Amino acid sequence: MYDVIIIGGGPAGASAAVYTARGHLSTLVLDKAPNAGALALTHKIANYPGIAEELSGKELLERIREQAIGFGAEFKHTTITAVDLEGDTKYVFTADGMLESKAVIIATGSKGRNRMLPGEEKLLGRGVSTCSTCDGAFYAGKEIAVIGDSEEALDEVLALSRIVSKIHFIIPRPELQGVAALPALDNTEVYFRTRPLEITGDQQVEGLRIKPNAGDEQLLNVDGVFVFLSGSKPGTDFLDGQVPLDGEGFMVLDEFMQSTVSGVFGAGEVRRSPVKQAVVAAADGAIAAMAVDKFIHRREHLIPQYK
């Protein structure tokens, strides 16, 4: 019987483990793909607070995990097959057997689109990005492409336009979802009804092949491709209706990352958040961990770990 089982070992789950283990709660982190999450695949990070040098997402995640292990947390690479979260004892069924805990933190992140562009997965973190805040500064003065079909994509274009020299804004649909009209876009060429075909390059992005609805294929010579296509959903399917979710599959959580199911918490991209950043996920994990500590010890208030 563990005090807490954390499902997901990304920045939210690993950071939660730092806090629960340091708070002397027996902690087990279950992760089916330790090196396949969004942070682990990020090639270069330069804006994580307190880390001045550039490092990969995998290196940052390994540091957080090592810190959690140093405090006594256990990490296990396994696949979740089912959960039973409705009673006082939480049961997590894995490919390796059944596990029990007093509390559970869901930190499974989000699932990508069902179909990626040719070259997208290979060059993710090497010129392909899904976060302008994370990677935009690396393309200062360069030419890039943004692929998107929503208001989120437009927001990212507006942010990137202040950094790069030129943007090719590729919109597969006749219009952007949730956007009545495009504002004036400096240094941005817009392509409606245009399909992205392939991101080209060997070790780094070298170009993007596109096909307008009425026209021939083109090859855009760009240094980076930012992808903001609809389809990323929280990885909460395995909860099987045991925890309240909103219409898009996000966990319904209070300010302490707690669901309405006693002893069940969430952190990171399983909750609805306007900003998707590793540091935000880590903060979620810390809050959830301190809420778990409060829950297990039946305290009235959270006790922050300042020392």
Concerning whether 155 is annotated as a catalytic residue, the answer is: no
3-state secondary structure of 154: helix
Name, in order, each residue with C-beta under 8 angstroms of 107's C-beta and a sequence gap of 6 or more.
6, 7, 8, 9, 10, 12, 13, 16, 266, 267, 268, 270, 281, 284, 285, 288
3-state secondary structure 57-90: HHHHHHHHHHHHHHCCCEEEECCEEEEECCCCCE
Catalytic residue among 31, 88, 96, 134: 134
Name, in order, each residue with C-beta under 8 angstroms of 155's C-beta and a sequence gap of 6 or more.
none
Whether the Cβ atoms of residue 127 and residue 224 lie closer than 8 Å to each other: yes
| Longest CA–CA separation in the chain, Å | 66
Concerning whether 131 is annotated as a catalytic residue, the answer is: yes
Chain centroid offset of residue 248 CA: 16
Calpha distance 276→279 (Å, rounded): 9
Residue 209: enclosing H or E segment and its boundaries? strand 207-212
Catalytic residue among 135, 149, 223, 284: 135
3-state secondary structure of 35: coil
Concerning whether 135 is annotated as a catalytic residue, the answer is: yes
Catalytic positions are 131, 134-135
